[in-house]
Amino acid sequence: MCLEFSAKVEDKLKTAYIGGGTPSIVPIEFYQKFNLVFFEDYEFTFEINPKTVDMQYLQALKDLGVNRLSIGVQSFDDEILVQIGRIHSADDAKKCVKMAQEVGFGNISIDLIYGLPNQTMCIWQKTITEAVSLGVQHISTYGLKIEKGTYFAHNIPENLPDEDICADMYLECIKNLSENGFEHYEISNFALPNFESKHNINYWKNNPYIALGVSAHGYQNGVRYENTSDFEAYLKNPLKPCAKVVLTQEDILQEGIFLGLRMVKGIDLKEFEVWYGFDFEQKYAQILEKYEDFLVFQNRRISLTQEGLMLSNVILAEFI
């Protein structure tokens, strides 16, 4: 579990995010020891697993000042949930959202995954429809990515959808959610008007943030740092990162491009030239020409087309 802030510790906070692992399995009394001070227009997000909370826990979170929930639903198909090792059912997820709404949460995000074992287009469409029907304000959709060292990496599941089907699932998500009033504002994220994740936008704009907790990552004064994953070591010295990377100006530039183009609105070239001191279109003329069919230039902004978003890993790698 980690806690990240988009402000200095001694300042009022603009956003805070408690996530990583399953923070909702921790007794609420732990979080009641926090003394966080926010600006008036703040965002305080808390990640929860649908199976680990009840009405009392959710009410206590709200009393603490949490005003945004991120619920790890992943799928509304019970067989798939069992296969990927989730402890909750589709019904648990629906009940969790309803409880949160009854408590008074008006900013709820749910995570969904496509490309899962035995997941067909029909199952995915049903999942999106179920998500929209719950009346949530934000939906994140991620393609399954099997990381090294994970269970799936050593036990590749059968019946994974191929790349073409996954691409179709992504396009179906964009189409369905757009038709239901959600704005596609980042490669994997959709929100009703004015419900974009402020905390995540802070990441994508390459702004600084402070990280507390085991394995948490932060970014301050051009330095990216990582806290130890050893719980005992962290308790002995919670303010000493186990690793630091001092970014060069070129690193910061590349991250600014990589993160900025993840946003559907893309990069403001006027701002970019002020921040980095050169003409973006001139410096990257060859790359821009190579991928011109996947880029949009409008009102001194550059962004990826829908097809460009699907090829984003390939295109963005060109800038690094």
Q: From the CB of residue 319, how many other CB atoms can be counted at a distance below 10 Å? A: 15
Task: Report residue 74: phi and psi, to 5°.
Answer: 70, -50
Q: What pLDDT does residue 159 have?
A: 83
Residue from 19, 17, 14 nearest 214 by CA: 19
Q: What pLDDT does residue 49 have?
A: 94
Q: What pLDDT does residue 7 have?
A: 53
Q: What pLDDT does residue 206 have?
A: 87
| pLDDT tens digit sequence for 64-113 | 999 999 999 999 999 999 999 899 999 999 999 999 999 999 999 999 99
- Residue found by looking up tokens 């060859």 in the block: 286
Distance CA 265, CA 184 (A): 9
Return contacts of 159-165, CB within 8 angstroms, 24+ apart.
159/117, 159/118, 160/115, 160/116, 160/117, 161/114, 161/115, 161/116, 161/119, 161/120, 165/115, 165/121
Confidence check: pLDDT of 155 > 90: no
Question: What is the share, in percent, of the chain residues with pLDDT greater than 70?
Answer: 95
Residue from 71, 181, 51, 75 nearest 126 by CA: 75
Q: What is the DSSP letter of 248?
A: P
Q: Edge to edge, what strands does the sheet with 243-246 contain?
A: 217-220, 223-226, 243-246
Q: What is the pTM of this model?
A: 0.91
Arithmetic mean of pLDDT over the chain: 91
* E strand map for the chain: 2-5, 13-19, 38-48, 68-74, 108-114, 138-143, 183-186, 189-191, 210-212, 217-220, 223-226, 243-246, 267-268, 295-298, 301-304
At 266, which helix (H) or strand (E)? none
Question: What is the share, in percent, of the chain residues with pLDDT greater than 90?
Answer: 65
Indicate the SS3 state at residue 294.
helix
- What percentage of the chain's residues is helix, strand, coil (to nearest 5)? 40, 25, 35
Confidence check: pLDDT of 200 > 60: yes
Confidence check: pLDDT of 148 > 80: no
Distance CA 17, CA 24 (A): 13
Amino acid code (one letter) for 244: K
Tell me which of 265 and 152 has the higher pLDDT: 265
Mean pLDDT of 218-236: 90
| pLDDT tens digit sequence for 261-286 | 999 999 999 988 888 888 888 999 99
Confidence check: pLDDT of 2 > 70: no
Residue from 209, 205, 216 nearest 15 by CA: 209
Amino acid code (one letter) for 52: T
Indicate the SS3 state at residue 28.
helix
pLDDT band at 47 (very low <50, low <70, confident <90, very high): very high
| Close Cβ partners of 145 (under 8 Å, ≥ 6 residues apart) | none
Mean pLDDT of 160-183: 95
Distance CA 64, CA 126 (A): 35
